[in-house]
Amino acid sequence: MRKTILLLLGLWFALGMQARRLNIIFETDMGNDVDDALAIDMLYKYARQGQIRLMAVMLNKEGEFPPKYIDLLNTWYGQRRIPIGVSNNSAKSIVAGTNYTQVVCEETDGQGRALYKRSIKDYSKLLPAPKLYRKLLAKAKDHSVTIVSVGFSTNLALLLETEADEYSPLTGRELVAQKVERLVTMAGHMENPTFREYNVVNDIPACQKVYREWPTPIYTSPFELGLQIKYPARSIENDFGWTAHHPIVDSYKVYLPKIEDRPTWDLTAVLFAVDPQDFFSVSAPGQITVTDEGYTHYQAQTDGQHYYLSVSPDQARRILDYFVAKITKKP
């Protein structure tokens, strides 16, 4: 009898944890900067801990290697079934450092074998991101999905434009309004009205469309926030002794041959979406607009659905400690 009660309590607890899991779709320009790689590491660990269900990784970075790299990470973290969406309309971005997605995918061991395994046999069968969005959102419960976008707005704008299909009779905008709870983005600069932030300027029309037409609340972690919190080079160099090879560490070292502290732009968006605690201050509701030059402007508005995040020096210090503890922990 006691064993039966314990089993029932365990089942109740497991179901309770599952019921509380956040549904996350991660939208990324993986390969343009290494903060995307650090951010997805956090998501894999949240998924392993039962805090989230990582529904998909959507790519708005062009080329053959970003999907291969995500497949590599899915495999390494034991998450092979997470679907990958690709875009045929990606912005043609310029990579500041070495394209780590290709280098890490092509790394070999001493015998010339691939250092990191991948699972997908035919990448041509991956669905375009807008179509995969529709497939996943159509099956989701109403207002149950959080989209975390840390790259360009291309796929999101294309999703809004989609029409009814085999997955749903709703338009893209209707589907988002029904299924998505909120959009959390890394974009813009709220303190400097003439700053052209990278994620915005790589597809200005798409970013304008999303801030103008997206039907759910949008929470934005701006450039100046991530700049305040830099992931320490010493952690990359010293804190991963528990494994001989680590794809995120390799990515960091490839992207920055001279290891240095790196801003945590994308990590802050992930943290706010999943485990915000009291780390952030949230603005009053308002409206964020994107100019034709790529500037982002915030205006307080009582009925607005846009918010932006900021941090105090104390919050920044605590967030950095959190990031290092999370990222250096064995999956």
What residues contact residue 236 under an 8 Å CB cut-off, 6+ apart? 249, 252, 253, 259
Q: What is the pLDDT of residue 257?
A: 84
Within-domain flag for 31: yes
- How do beta strands 218-221 and 230-231 pair? unpaired
Tally of CB atoms within 10 A around 88: 9
Within-domain flag for 143: yes
Within-domain flag for 6: no
Within-domain flag for 2: no
* Residue 52, beta-bridge partner list: 22
Within-domain flag for 105: yes
CA 73/CA 56 separation, integer angstroms:
13
pLDDT tens digit at each of 331 positions of the chain: 444 333 333 433 334 434 569 999 999 999 999 999 999 999 999 999 999 999 999 999 888 999 999 999 999 999 999 999 998 765 555 555 568 999 999 999 989 999 999 999 999 999 999 999 999 999 999 999 999 999 999 999 999 999 999 999 999 999 999 999 999 999 999 999 999 999 999 999 999 999 999 999 999 999 999 999 999 999 999 999 999 999 999 999 999 989 999 999 999 999 999 999 999 999 999 999 999 999 999 999 999 999 999 999 999 999 999 999 999 999 8
Q: What is the pLDDT of residue 36?
A: 98
Q: What is the pLDDT of residue 109?
A: 92
Within-domain flag for 142: yes
Question: CB-hemisphere CA count at 13 Å for 113?
Answer: 4
Q: What is the pLDDT of residue 307?
A: 98
The CATH number covering residue 258 comes to 3.90.245.10
Q: Which domain holds residue 199?
A: 23-328
What residues contact residue 96 under an 8 Å CB cut-off, 6+ apart? 32, 33
- Amino acid identity at 11: L
Within-domain flag for 125: yes
Give CA separation, 115 vs 34, 110, 111, 253, in Å. 19, 9, 10, 16
Q: What is the pLDDT of residue 90?
A: 53
Within-domain flag for 14: no
Domain count across the chain = 1
